[in-house]
């Protein structure tokens, strides 16, 4: 049996109504997605590059031992994107809202870098002033003869003629965990 022309017309009208409804729903979904993306990209209430932020933090090694904390002291203030703190800490704060906390694991490459053997050097003991008695583990500042810059080194060994110093940061090669509390934005 053939459908009547009248029935075909009603089916075509119904199909167009369904198609229009689908277009309206899809358009609404696209608008919602754009609004959410815009909110996260331009939200004045979350930290983003260029903002000066204040945080409390506690840094621990992988075994849970605390190596640094400013809890009970002054908040750390820094500007995101200016690389004043380790990369992993900056990345952790981006997107946080004031009065929120989070705990992040930061790999050594986003913390203080790898431990480098080439930063261990043997120097002539005569480079140490006569009035200083070397102490293994002690930090010293030395002026490099090549460029005059000051380098901070840790003495790892010595004998009558030489000093062995390590220019690596004390936390080089360490994966770290930071509990971060974003206090808010610093006044500019």
Q: Say how far apart CA 88 and CA 55 lie, in whole Å.
A: 14
Q: What's the CATH architecture for 117-166?
A: Beta Barrel (2.40)
Class level of CATH domain 52-112+172-185? alpha beta
pLDDT at 42: 62
When computed from its CA atoms, the radius of gyration of the chain, rounded to whole angstroms, is 30
What are phi and psi for residue 91, nearest 5 degrees? -60, -35
pTM above 0.75, yes or no: no
pLDDT at 111: 97
What residues does each domain of the chain span? 8-42, 52-112+172-185, 117-166
pLDDT at 43: 59
pLDDT at 136: 95
Parts of the chain with a pLDDT under 50: none
78: β partners: 53
């Amino acid at each position: 049996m053939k459908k009547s022309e009248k029935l075909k017309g009603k089916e075509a009208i119904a199909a167009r109504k369904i198609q229009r409804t689908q277009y309206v729903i899809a358009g609404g979904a696209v608008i919602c997605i754009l609004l959410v993306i815009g909110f996260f990209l331009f939200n004045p209430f979350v930290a983003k590059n260029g903002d000066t932020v204040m945080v409390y933090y506690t840094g621990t090694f992988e075994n849970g031992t605390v190596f640094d904390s400013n809890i009970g002291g002054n908040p750390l203030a820094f500007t995101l994107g200016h690389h004043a703190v380790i990369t992993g800490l900056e990345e952790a704060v981006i997107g946080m809202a004031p009065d929120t906390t989070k705990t992040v694991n930061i790999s050594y490459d986003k913390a203080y870098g790898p431990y480098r053997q080439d930063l261990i050097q043997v120097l002539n003991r005569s480079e140490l002033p006569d009035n200083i008695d070397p102490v293994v583990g002690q930090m010293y500042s030395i002026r490099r003869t090549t460029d005059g810059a000051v380098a901070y080194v840790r003495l790892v060994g010595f004998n009558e003629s030489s000093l062995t110093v390590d220019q690596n940061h004390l936390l080089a090669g360490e994966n770290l965990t930071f509990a971060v509390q974003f206090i808010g934005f610093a006044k500019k």
